[in-house]
Amino acid sequence: MSARTPATAYDHLWMHFTRMGDYADTPVPVIVRGEGAYIHDDRGKRYIDGLSGLFVVNAGHGRRELAETAARQAAELAYFPIWGYAHPRAVELAERLAHLAPGDLDKVFFTTGGGEAVETAWKLAKQYHKLTGNPGRYKVISRAVAYHGTPHGALSITGLPALKAPFEPLVPGAFRVPNTNIYRAPVHGDDPEAFGRWAADRIEEQILFEGPDTVAAVFLEPVQNAGGCFPPPPGYFPRVREICDRHGVLLVSDEVICAFGRLGTTFGCERYGYVPDMITCAKGMTSGYSPIGACIVSDRVAEPFHRGGEAFLHGYTFGGHPVSAAVALANLDLLDREGLNRRVRDHEADFRATLDRLRDLPVVGDVRGSGYFHGIELVKDKATKETFTPEETERVLYGFLSRELFANGLYCRADDRGDPVIQLAPPLVAGQQLFDEIEAILRDVLTRAWAKL
């Protein structure tokens, strides 16, 4: 390596979930700053941040108060662990989250991100059952195509075989049921209530297939991200709650994306009227100004761990980091003060209506989602819902759409973890003008993509 040649992003930075070979001869996009719902690259070009970074920057970019909070906290106490000790910001944030969370979800176990929160919830569920006389309950159920993170446990819960294949064998005992993709429903596609009952009943069926005495927990996102934003059909979650209660299985609401305003409520479960036993969350808790995650646990599940000499033998050096906890508190103040949850509820119908205009394009098969969290499924034939071949996905979705959207000023996600989708989740400060800009870029690029199919 020459000391005089400035390193490029490709030379040393190992980008996540990235085919590094794609960048051997192509410059890596380098984003240098953000303002509101926009980001700028190192050549001065501006883009719409149509994905809030990675479903993270809910309050929008460039919030000085969050940056200044981080600096103040680092100067006062940059670090102390929460292993047998506490620091004020972790105490305050745990209290704040406990008050915001529904029901008796009162205990907060901090992590540094979402996958760790999911990992924590599975381990906690296993030990909870051991402590309460059910040592055989260790299995978990989650949904096809759902993404729950990369640690071995969280990856085992993930329903994406291609992501898991390089790392098999994974943690035993994780089982999948169908998700709530009504667009491709095998039954009841024209009756959301009946489809919701059917999909919830697949969970009960799987519990019975495995034997209720072996099942520890069910992991579900309020709106499933991977596959392209599948909201729950009416009645789905209340029925899942009943099923879990009937069989003594814990319900984990994985809200790594769906919390902190993304769906217009602090927690996604609020929006869909259910109270889980645990909530896993991360991302938007600080709007990305510093990393943190959490597993919020009900008093009932936490109680056996608070008895006598019991301990949950689990933790992270940086869990509940003082700077991140301080930033999370300031971010929650900001979301409150600016009424961003309310804003999402007031404007989500406009966001949806703007994206729905794209339905006149032959390549747009479905538009779905909730809050500021939507997916557009692409098809080759609207009538038959025929999807892309692997070759078309490679050539059109990745080779053209993904790059062309970015080149035209829209950072968002073109994804084929289920069927091909474009995903949109702008910062919660977005309004009609931004929705229109997003629609105009999508219309132009999707029209040109169609010509390539």
Ligand X SMILES: Cc1ncc(COP(=O)(O)O)c(C=O)c1O
Contact 183, 369 (CB under 8 A): no
**Among the candidate windows 66-74, 130-138, 144-152, 169-177, which touches ligand X by CB under 6 A?**
144-152
Query: How many Cβ atoms sit within 10 Å of the Cβ of residue 33?
Result: 12
How far, in Å, CA of 128 to CA of 138, rounded?
A: 10
CA dihedral 321, 327, 329, 334 (to 10 degrees): -160
**294 lies in the site for ligand X, by CB under 6 A:** no
Kindly state the smallest distance separating residue 282's Cβ from ligand X, in Å: 5
Give strand ranges (E) for 371-450: 373-378, 410-411, 413-415, 421-424
Q: How many residues bind ligand X (CB under 6 A)?
A: 13
Binding segment toward ligand X, per CB under 6 A, in 98-106, 111-119, 120-128, 309-317: 111-119
DSSP bridge partners of 410:
48
In the region spanning residues 28 to 47, those forming contacts with ligand X, defined by CB under 6 A, are: none
Antiparallel, parallel or unpaired: β 421-424 and 413-415? antiparallel
Q: List, in sequence order, every beta strand (DSSP E) within 144-292.
A: 174-177, 215-220, 250-254, 278-281
Q: How many helices (H) and strands (E) does the chain have?
A: 16, 15
| The two three-digit tokens of residue 264, written as one number | 């217009």
Choice between 118 and 332, CB closer to ligand X: 118
Q: Give residues 393-412 in contact with ligand X (rule: CB under 6 A).
A: none
Query: Binder to ligand X among 93, 118, 223, 326 (CB under 6 A)?
Result: 118
3-state secondary structure of 239: helix
Find the part of the chain contacting ligand X (CB under 6 A) among 19-27, 64-72, 114-122, 168-176: 114-122
Question: Is 221 one of the binding residues for ligand X (CB under 6 A)?
Answer: yes
- One residue of 34, 50, 53, 113 binding ligand X per CB under 6 A: 113
Tell me: does residue 282 bind ligand X (CB under 6 A): yes
Contact flags string 413-432 toward ligand X, x per CB under 6 A: --------------------
147 versus 267: smaller Cβ distance to ligand X: 147
225 binds ligand X per the rule CB under 6 A? yes
Radius of gyration of the chain (CA): 22
Specify the residue, 53 or 235, whose C-beta has the smaller distance to ligand X. Answer: 53
The reply on whether position 268 binds ligand X by CB under 6 A is no
Smaller CB separation from ligand X, 109 or 147:
147
Q: Is 148 in the site for ligand X (CB under 6 A)?
A: yes
Q: How far apart are CA 34 and CA 50, in angstroms?
A: 12
- Helical H runs in 286-431? 299-302, 322-337, 340-356, 390-392, 403-407
* φ/ψ of residue 199, rounded to 5: -65, -40
Q: Of the ranges 108-116, 124-132, 296-304, 398-406, which one interacts with ligand X (CB under 6 A)?
A: 108-116
Q: How far is the CB of 389 from ligand X (least distance, A)?
A: 27
321 binds ligand X (CB under 6 A): no
The 8-class DSSP code of residue 172 comes to S
Binding site for ligand X (CB under 6 A): 113-115, 118, 147-149, 221, 225, 254, 256-257, 282
